[in-house]
Chain A
Amino acid sequence: MSALLDNFWVLLALKLAVVAIFIPTFSLVLIFAELKLSAHMQNRIGPYFAGGRWGWAQPLADGLKFMQKEDLVPADADRPVFKIAPMIVLMGTLAVFVIVPFAPKLVVRDLDLGVFYALAAGSIGTVGVLMAGWSSANKYSLMGGLRAAAQLIAYELPLVLAVVGVVIAAGTMSMGGIVAAQVEPWFHIGSFGVRLPFILQGQVVGFAIFMIASLAELSRTPFDMPIAESELVMGYLTEYSGIRFTMFFLAEYAGMFSMSAIAATLFLGGWYVPGLPADSAAMYLLGPMVLIGKVLVLVFAMIWMRWTFPRLREDQLQSLAWRWLIPLALANILVTATLKVVF
């Protein structure tokens, strides 16, 4: 058995299988969280009947409902592109989880270029969105797809630049290395080492920019012009139904999870909380719990923002990215680099 586990390929396949099963399941939990949280924020109860008093089976029921729907492809649509688009979006989101460290040794593959890989994989979804908009043979979908592409590309830059600040502070691009840099004490008071996550090590601005940009990357309110704009009905999602729609839907929530996981690892300290024994075997259990706890806090913030704000207009969205976030992120890099060199 252990010989089997030592085999690189078997181990890899096992890890990927865990990711592929665990992430969509956890997305269902996030979907349920959104339904209940939004309901309580609006003074309603939310799902109530499916699966007993809590309505916990509501996402399952919705999933089953979507699966049994008719598989519709518009007559004029570009069939191969139409069918592949949701898969590409979902794949891009799931691929990010390869480098998220759940515990000191619990990561699918701790690449040296972890951060770089995460950002690159995350932006594959943009191609999928464009494909969806184009192949739907619907002028409104096309307009929605183009607007979505513009928005996603515009907000890639602040996302990347915000992360660069952390990379400079940590000195490495590997996710495991970044967490390790936060485990190490930042400075000592006497013999007591003060350990702080990067958000408290001066990356507050970076964190804020990252959260805003990730909301825009996920096309969530207040940046949901591409899908929920009243003129474009559902934008690039208009012609999708059934399982294909489920894939987009899951990709959104998996994306929330992945963006929050990256933010938690980069800015909030990942699986580490000061006081935990960083090297012991208990971390295999505690580490994921800590990380998921932080992820849930960030996801709560995202849900909260969705149900409080109206949506920004397209030009306001773009000006926010280009005129505010990018200069701020550049300034953040400058300050971080200066401090790193000086101290």
Chain B
Amino acid sequence: MIDRHLLAMHQSEVSVSVELETPDVTLNLGPQHPSTHGVLRLIAKVDGEVINEVEPVIGYMHRGYEKLAEVRTYPQITALVNRIDWVSGFANEIPFIVAVERLMGIEAPQRAQMIRLVLTEMARISSHLLFLCSYPLELGAATPLMYALRERERVLDLIEGVTGGRFHPNFNRIGGVKPAAGAGSTQKKVVQDLPEGFLEQTRDAMKNVLSECDDMVDLVLGNEIFIERTRGVGLIPADRALEYGVSGPNLRASGVRFDVRKTDSYLPYGGFDFEIPTGVNGDCFDRYTVRLEEIRQAARIVNQAVDAMPSGELQAKVPRIVKVPKGATYVRAENPKGEMGYYVVSEGGRGPYRLKVRSASFSNLSILPWLLKGQLVPDIIAILGSLDFVLGDVDR
């Protein structure tokens, strides 16, 4: 009660204009609001409880990545891009690094690729766990939040142990991953590998994550009221989803069995055994179940990867000053939020001539004007939460 009261004191700047003459009311949601995932503003024309038209206003978090990339070198951009989708920090660096490596014709050593894979899957678990707990919170159930965040802490601690950062690891280097820990100017540089005990701790953490998923199934998915609020709400048919570029768990919830991990070879997923969970209807409930199942599959992959971790070098031989030859390539990856890709256009310089970031949440959110038409006002929260977008990803 008390926390919400404090929140209310800060949130009363929400304004509404009510024209009493006409039946259409303009409802303004945000940009500061407890349940939009960041600064998103929705201007809705409402008739009673039914929405006639919605216009999302975005750009509050536009940081100009694509312009910034034109004045930076490739390693500097690596540090920037994990801030695009800040919830799954590590996963943002991967397609960019792979694109640059492809342009240079370098392949990262096996061990480095496996480490990248493990950390990417952990980022996926972390992002989905956050969704699993914040979505019921928006619907009113406060307890799953505590349970899921505890498991998420374990995963974040592991990521921190390897990379030094929980959300912004900045761990990828062109040609591999960063050898953990450097040294100051007075000491010789020490090359370190994964921290001791990392593999056992990972196995433990995955066990906990899997048991947490089972808890969630009982606590949330079996809950009558949760089912009432989410079943049949916010249906996205598969052909619409494809047309708008909706990707990731949202697309799979609509019944399209497609996963970039199975079709593109940006990381060595080919050697692993995992399934692609799909939903049936494309409603909010399906999106929740798909993400829950994806956590299980990700934990499965991590367990297999940890068992199969090869030894070897952490980084391929790369020239001291990185100049990427002329060319252009597009590499995409299956990020937790969806398909994230980078189109890198290089003109032989130390930085790209043009970097186009294809972010998942931008396309996922673009379906909102179509999706919210005809829905009820209380369902806005349920639908927005189920799309699982992050404003940093939308606005770049």
A binds B: yes
Task: Name A residues whose Cβ lies closer than 8 Å to a Cβ of B.
Answer: 38, 41-44, 62, 138-140, 221-222, 224-225, 228-231, 233-234, 237-239, 241, 245, 249, 307-316
Q: Which residues of A contact B86 (CB under 8 A)?
A: none
Whether B378 lies near A229 (C-beta < 8 A) is: yes
Q: Which of A44, A233, A237, A245 contacts B11 (CB 8 A)?
A: A233
Let me know if B274 is at the binding interface, CB within 8 A: no
Whether A42 lies near B143 (C-beta < 8 A) is: yes
Contact of A312 with B228 at beta-carbon distance under 8 Å, contacts A43-B146, A230-B34 already known: yes
What's the nearest-Cβ distance from chain B to residue A96, in Å? 22
Whether B12 lies near A233 (C-beta < 8 A) is: yes
Whether B140 lies near A140 (C-beta < 8 A) is: no
What's the nearest-Cβ distance from chain A to residue B319, in Å? 52
- Cα distance A237–B228 in the bound complex, in angstroms: 27
Contact of A310 with B5 at beta-carbon distance under 8 Å, contacts A42-B146, A231-B381, A233-B12 already known: no
Whether A237 lies near B8 (C-beta < 8 A) is: yes
Whether B12 lies near A231 (C-beta < 8 A) is: no
- Cα distance A41–B142 in the bound complex, in angstroms: 11
Contact of A140 with B14 at beta-carbon distance under 8 Å, contacts A221-B140, A224-B140, A310-B229 already known: yes
- Cα distance A237–B4 in the bound complex, in angstroms: 11
Let me know if B9 is at the binding interface, CB within 8 A: yes
Task: Name B residues whose Cβ lies closer than 8 Å to a Cβ of A.
Answer: 1-2, 4-5, 7-9, 11-12, 14, 16, 18, 29, 33-35, 49, 136, 138-143, 145-147, 150, 219, 223, 225-226, 228-229, 376-381
Q: Which residues of B contact A42 (CB under 8 A)?
A: 142-143, 145-147
| 8 tightest A-B CB contacts, nearest first | A311-B140, A42-B146, A310-B139, A230-B35, A310-B141, A310-B140, A234-B8, A139-B16
Q: Which residues of B contact A230 (CB under 8 A)?
A: 33-35, 138, 381
What's the nearest-Cβ distance from chain B to residue A144, in Å? 11
Whether B146 lies near A44 (C-beta < 8 A) is: yes
Q: Which residues of A contact B229 (CB under 8 A)?
A: 310, 312-313, 316
Q: Which residues of A contact B34 (CB under 8 A)?
A: 230, 233
Q: Which residues of B contact A238 (CB under 8 A)?
A: 8, 12
Whether B377 lies near A231 (C-beta < 8 A) is: yes
Whether B12 lies near A239 (C-beta < 8 A) is: yes
Closest to A230 in B: B35
Q: Which of A43, A62, A233 contacts B147 (CB 8 A)?
A: A43
Contact of A231 with B8 at beta-carbon distance under 8 Å, contacts A222-B140, A310-B140, A310-B229 already known: no
- Cα distance A135–B2 in the bound complex, in angstroms: 23
Whether B146 lies near A245 (C-beta < 8 A) is: no
Closest to A316 in B: B228
- Cα distance A307–B136 in the bound complex, in angstroms: 11
Q: Name which of A38, A140, A221, A309 has the most chain B CB atoms within 10 A of its CB.
A: A309
Q: Which residues of A contact B223 (CB under 8 A)?
A: 308-310
Whether B5 lies near A245 (C-beta < 8 A) is: yes
Query: Can you list 9 A-B pairs with a CB-CB distance of less than 8 A?
Result: A42-B147, A139-B16, A140-B14, A225-B378, A229-B378, A233-B12, A309-B225, A310-B229, A311-B139
What's the nearest-Cβ distance from chain A to residue B387, in Å? 15
Q: Name which of A225, A245, A312, A314 has the most chain B CB atoms within 10 A of its CB.
A: A312
Whether A233 lies near B7 (C-beta < 8 A) is: yes
Contact of A309 with B146 at beta-carbon distance under 8 Å, contacts A139-B16, A241-B9, A314-B378 already known: no
Contact of A228 with B140 at beta-carbon distance under 8 Å, contacts A233-B7, A234-B5, A241-B9 already known: yes
Q: Which of B2, B147, B380 contacts A231 (CB 8 A)?
A: B380
- Cα distance A116–B204 in the bound complex, in angstroms: 60
What's the nearest-Cβ distance from chain B to residue A318, in Å? 12
Contact of A313 with B378 at beta-carbon distance under 8 Å, contacts A44-B146, A222-B140, A222-B225 already known: yes
Closest to A41 in B: B143
- Cα distance A43–B212 in the bound complex, in angstroms: 13
Q: Which residues of B contact A241 (CB under 8 A)?
A: 5, 9
Closest to B145 in A: A42
Closest to A312 in B: B225
Q: Which of A44, A233, A310 contacts B136 (CB 8 A)?
A: A310
- Cα distance A42–B136 in the bound complex, in angstroms: 14
- Cα distance A312–B226 in the bound complex, in angstroms: 8
Closest to B11 in A: A233
What's the nearest-Cβ distance from chain A to residue B241, in Å? 25
Whether A307 lies near B378 (C-beta < 8 A) is: no
Q: Which residues of B contact A138 (CB under 8 A)?
A: 12
Contact of A43 with B150 at beta-carbon distance under 8 Å, contacts A138-B12, A231-B29, A312-B225 already known: yes
Q: Which residues of B contact A316 (CB under 8 A)?
A: 228-229
Whether B16 lies near A233 (C-beta < 8 A) is: no
- Cα distance A315–B50 in the bound complex, in angstroms: 12
Whether A313 lies near B9 (C-beta < 8 A) is: no
What's the nearest-Cβ distance from chain A to residue B33, in Å? 8
Q: Name which of A38, A138, A313, A316 has the most chain B CB atoms within 10 A of its CB.
A: A313
- Cα distance A38–B138 in the bound complex, in angstroms: 18
Q: Which residues of A contact B147 (CB under 8 A)?
A: 42-43
Whether B18 lies near A231 (C-beta < 8 A) is: no
What's the nearest-Cβ distance from chain B to residue A301, in Å? 16
Q: Which residues of A contact B381 (CB under 8 A)?
A: 230-231
Q: Which residues of B contact A225 (CB under 8 A)?
A: 378
- Cα distance A230–B8 in the bound complex, in angstroms: 11
- Cα distance A316–B233 in the bound complex, in angstroms: 13
Closest to A62 in B: B2
Q: Which residues of A contact B228 (CB under 8 A)?
A: 312-313, 316
Q: Which residues of A contact B145 (CB under 8 A)?
A: 42
Q: Which residues of B contact A314 (CB under 8 A)?
A: 49, 378
Q: Which residues of A contact B377 (CB under 8 A)?
A: 231
- Cα distance A224–B380 in the bound complex, in angstroms: 17
Q: Which residues of A contact B18 (CB under 8 A)?
A: 139
Whether B378 lies near A231 (C-beta < 8 A) is: yes
Closest to B377 in A: A231
Contact of A140 with B16 at beta-carbon distance under 8 Å, contacts A231-B380, A308-B223 already known: yes
